[in-house]
Amino acid sequence: MSIPLFNEIIEPNDQTEARQASLDAMRELVGNVYPNKFTRSAISGTEDSITNLKAYAPIAAIVEEIKAVVATLAERERPPAEIKDALNARLKELGSVRLSGRLTTPPRGNFVHLTDGINKLQIYCDKKGGAALVKNDGSDTLDTENGWAAWQLLDHGDFIGVEGYLFITNTGELSVHVEKLQFLAKAMLPMPDKMHGIADPELQRRYRYADLIASTLQIESDGLKTREVFERRAKLISGMRNFLDDAGFIEVETPMLTPKATGAAAKPFETHHNALDIPLYARVAPELYLKRLVVGGFEKVYELNRNFRNEGLSQRHNPEFTMLEFYIAYMDVNGMMDFCEGLLKDSVRRAAGKLRIRVGVKHIDEAIDTYIDFSKFERLSMKSAIYERLQTRYGCIDEDFSSDLLDDLIGLRTVREFILPAENQSIRYYSPQEYSWEHIEELNKIWINAKSCAQSGERLKEYDESQLLLQIFEEFIEPNLIQPTFIVDYPKSISPLSKASPDDPNIAERFELFINGMEVANGFSELNDPKEQYERFVDQMSERERGDEEAMILDEDYIRALSYGMPPAAGIGIGIDRLVMLLTNKHSIRDVILFPHMRPERNSATEDTESTEAE
C-alpha cells in the first residue's frame, strides 16, 4: 500500500508556504509551537471560556451599561471619559483573566478577535508597552522583548492564549488588554470565507470541521448556522432522555453486532468475527433485544443509539442513523400515541423554545410560510386518509367515491391505476377550486381507463390488497401529511411484529407518525403470543424466499424469550435525524449528521449526487 506524502495531502501553495514561514519564525521565538496545555482563569465562577466570561453577570451588566451610553452618541462620538473610566475601574477590580481561542482575523494593528467557537472577544496588544511572550519551555519563561514580534507572526485561524485585564474601548467594546501572549497551535490552511461561510453543501458535509469553523466566523446566515444545528440536536436528545428518565424509564445498551439481522425489514451490513468464526450483522434495529428485556422484567426501557441499513442514500436516508426506541409494559398503541405526543411536545419546546416551527423557504410575507405546529397531533386511519384526499382532490369527476372503494382488490387497483397519471397531470399545480372543465374531462378519462385496467387484471397482478393500499398511501398521502399526523390501522400482513386489532384481525394495532411528508415514528401494540409470532416469522421467510431481501428472518431465541411470557406492551421507534431536520429546517439528513457517509472525493460533477432510492 502506497502512503501519500504530507505535501500530497496538504498541497503547498503561496498561503501554506507563508504560514509555514511564520510557524518557523514563531518556533525560533517560543520553542515548542504545539504546547500541551493552557490553563484558563475562573473569575466567572467556572472556566473562563469567552462565552462564560461574557455571560458573567458583573461583566454583562457593564457591557449593557456602555451599550446604553453608546446608543445616545452621535456617529464617531466617544463615550464620556468619566463614564468609561468608572466602568473600566470596575472591570479591573475583577482581576486578571486568562483566555484562549482561535483568531477570527489576522492581526492588523493592535486589535484582533478571538473565538471559542460560540462567541468572539476583542483583544488588544500595545506595540509600545508590548506583551510578554510566554516561551513554551515547560517553565513558562517570559520573554519581555519579543511579544510584539510574535504578535505580528500570527495568522488568521491560529490558536493563542492571553493573560491581561478587561477594559472598554472608545467604541464601547469589551476587550482584553494583553499582558502575556502564548502561542498554542498553528492553522496551516487558510480559513473559510467569513462573510458567507462554505456555500457548497458537499464541501460542508465532507469537511465538517471546516464547516464548523466557517459557521463560527460567518457574518451572514440564512437560518441556523452549522454549530447551532448540532447544538439544537444535542438539546433535543438531552430533552428526550430527561423526559424518559423522569417517567421512570431505564436506559440500556443492546448489541450493535448481532448474529441475526432482525427487528426490522431491512438489508443489513455483514461482517465476520474471526475468533468465533461466525457471521455478524450491524444491527438494523434493537427491537427484539429490548422486548427480551421486557420479558425479563424491565417495564419501561429505552435505547438511544445507532442503527445500520445497507440500503440507498437519499435526502431522508443514511446508512447509519440515530433511533430512539422504547417500550412500556401494560400499555397499548393508543396509550403509546398519547405518550409519544407528550414526549415530542416537551422535547421540541426544550430544544427550540417553541412549538411552532417554520419549514421550507422563508418568504417576505410570513403569512405564506409553512409552519409545523407541534401543539396539535391528528389521528387518521390509513384508508380514511386516502379516501379523504380522493374526495378533496378528485371528487369533481363523474364518480361517486364510496367508502368501500378501498376494501377490495379491484377498487384498490383502480385507485392505484388512477393516481399516478392523475398526479402527473399539470392539475397538481392547482387547487380543486381552480380546475377547468378541460381538467375535469381529462380526469374522467383517466378514471375510466383505470377502472378498465383494474377489471382486466392485466397489470398489478403481483400485488395483494395490503401492498396496493400501502403503495397508494406512500405515493398519494404521505408527501401531503405536513402537520403531525398519526396514521393508524395498518394491514397486519405488513406488520409482522404487531398485535392484531381486537376489532378486525386483518388490521394491526400499529401507527406511524408523519410530519412534513416524512415518517418520524413507528409504534405498535407488541405481539406477545410466541406461537403467532413464530407463524409471522415463517410468513416473512416465505417472502424472503420469493426474493424480498428485506423480509425478516426467524429468530429462534426471541421465540424462546416470548415463551417465558411477555406482558401486554407498546413500543415505538423515533427517528432522531428526521426530527432534527424538522427543527432546524434542513432538507437533507446529511445536514443534521456531523459526519455523513460520502463517496470518495469526486472527479466529476456527476458523482455523489443524492439519489431518491428509498430505504
User: How many angstroms separate the CA atoms of 132 and 35, rounded?
Assistant: 17
What is d(CA 192, CA 226) in angstroms, rounded to the nearest whole number?
14
* pLDDT digit string, tens, across residues 342-361: 999 999 999 999 999 999 88
The confidence score (pLDDT) of residue 613 equals 40
> Going from the N-terminus, what domains does the chain have, and what CATH number goes with each?
14-191 (2.40.50.140), 222-377+528-600+610-615 (3.30.930.10), 380-479 (no CATH)
| Cα 130–Cα 134–Cα 140 angle in degrees, nearest 5 | 145
Block residue for cell numbers 455523513: 596
Q: What are phi and psi of 272, to 5 degrees?
A: -135, 135
Distance CA 135, CA 112 (A): 21
H or E element: which one contains 486?
strand 485-491
Residue-wise pLDDT for 87-131, tens only, equals 999 999 999 999 999 999 888 889 999 999 999 999 999 988 779
Structure confidence at residue 209 (pLDDT) = 94
Cell of 530: 410466541
572 vs 509: CA distance, rounded Å = 12
Give the confidence band of 615 by pLDDT, cuts at 50, 70, 90.
very low
| Percentage of residues in the chain having pLDDT higher than 90 | 71
Q: Pick from 100, 111, 209: which is nearest to 159 by CA?
A: 100
User: What distance in Å separates the CA atoms of residue 570 and residue 337, rounded to the nearest whole number?
Assistant: 10
Rounded Cα distance, 569 and 325, in Å: 13
pLDDT band, very low/low/confident/very high, at 150 (cuts 50, 70, 90): very high
Query: For residues 120 and 606, which has the higher predicted lDDT (pLDDT)?
Result: 120
Q: What is the mean pLDDT of the chain?
A: 91
**Cell numbers linked to 568:** 401486554
Query: Three cell numbers at 189?
Result: 490552511
Contact predicate 355/349, CB 8 Å: yes
| One-letter identity of residue 267 | K
Contact 220, 42 (CB under 8 A): no
**Cα 216 to Cα 213: distance, rounded to the nearest angstrom:** 5
Please tell me whether the overall predicted TM-score, pTM, comes out greater than 0.95 for this model: no
Distance between CA atoms of residues 529 and 536, nearest Å = 11
| Identity of residue 407 | D
**Among residues 322, 163, 295, 155, which one has the least CA distance to residue 234?**
322
Looking at residue 108, what is its pLDDT? 82
Average pLDDT value for residue range 451-469: 84
Q: Which of 613, 490, 596, 591 is nearest to 225 (CA)?
A: 591
- Polymer length in residues for the chain: 615
Within 8 A by CB and 6+ apart from 149, the residues are: 29, 133
